Each structure stands twice: as C-alpha cells, then as structure tokens.
Structure 1
C-alpha cells in the first residue's frame, strides 16, 4: 500500500462519538458542553457526534460503538480525560496542546 492510499483510507475513516446522558437527571447541559469540547478539538477528525437521551443515571461516551467512559464506573469525566481517550482512537498522533500536561 502506498502512502497516498494510506492517507486516503485514513481520510475516509468514519469516527463517530455518541454521548448518552440521563434526561431524568437533567444532564443535557453537561453532555452538550462535552460535545462542544470534542467537536472543537477534533473538528476535522470526527465525522459525527450525537447526543442520545437516556434514563436511569446514564452518562456514557462511545467512540465507534466502543465505550470509552461510563459514569457508573468512572464518575463524571473531565473533558481532558475524554479528549485523550477519543484522540487515542481517532487521531493517535494529534497533540492536545496544554491538555497533555
């Protein structure tokens, strides 16, 4: 495979993030804020980011259907922690700048 083919495959890659949040707990603002942070950081790497209403205290972040953060196991995430997890899956070579320190 040539470098051009590799770049084309990476450019065509679908990177989908879903943030599922509890409507009963009124966690939409928290989910929307995290979505904004991810979209700002990964504006060219993400092909889709969606907010999925749920119930029962759910707050889960998935990247390409893989759970990377679950509030029930890890508590509420700091944006930098989620950014690192998303970066590792969609753009491993991307620097997160001051968030890396």
Structure 2
C-alpha cells in the first residue's frame, strides 16, 4: 500500500507560505516515515486547505480559520492510523 500524501494549498496573496511550511514541518516531525510526501501548492483567493490523499481534512473557509498543530495532527492521524496515540496532542483534547 502506498503511503499517504498530504497536500497543503495556501494563498500566496495572503502570504500564508510560512504557515503552510510550518504545518508541513509539524506533520513530518510527528509522522516521519508514515507519510509518503507533504506537498505545498500555491493558490490565490484566500485558500488554505489540507488534504490527506483524497480526503479534505481542513478548509479555512469551511472550518473557520486555521487548525493548531495538535488538532491538525489528530485529523491526519484519524485518516492514516486511527488507533495511533499522539501522546500530549491527544491529552490536550477539550
């Protein structure tokens, strides 16, 4: 089975490259060899979406802003390995 592919599409007009890069770094640090790749895709019009394979896991407009690192890791984990314990990221659930 192929490893999951994360695609982060960010708005260049809004200058969200650093945010997208930081989120990519967080995912790569947490999931290391469990991910096949993390791709940054430039866009326009206020777009900021995160997909795991063909599943949209975050949309800035739909979900109201940006996820924090812990929430993003939980969302990715729920798609690629629902049984995985994320340690402190899971303990910070409300």
Tell me the TM-score normalized by structure 2. 0.91
CA distance in 2, matches of 1:48, 1:63: 10
Cα RMSD (Å): 0.9
- Count of residue pairs brought into register by the alignment: 90
Which ranges in structure 1 are unaligned for 5 or more consecutive residues?
A: 1-11
Which ranges in structure 2 are unaligned for 5 or more consecutive residues?
A: none
Larger Rg, first or second structure (1 or 2): 1
Moved runs in structure 1, 4+ residues, more than 4 A? Answer: none
CA distance in 2, matches of 1:89, 1:66: 8
Are 1:20 and 2:19 counterparts? no
CA distance in 1, matches of 2:2, 2:86: 20
Deviations along 1:61-86, one digit per CA (max 9) or x if unpaired, are 00002110000011111111111110
Tell me the TM-score normalized by structure 1. 0.85
Of 68, 74, 86 in structure 2, the residue corresponding to residue 96 of structure 1 is 86
CA distance in 1, matches of 2:51, 2:24: 12
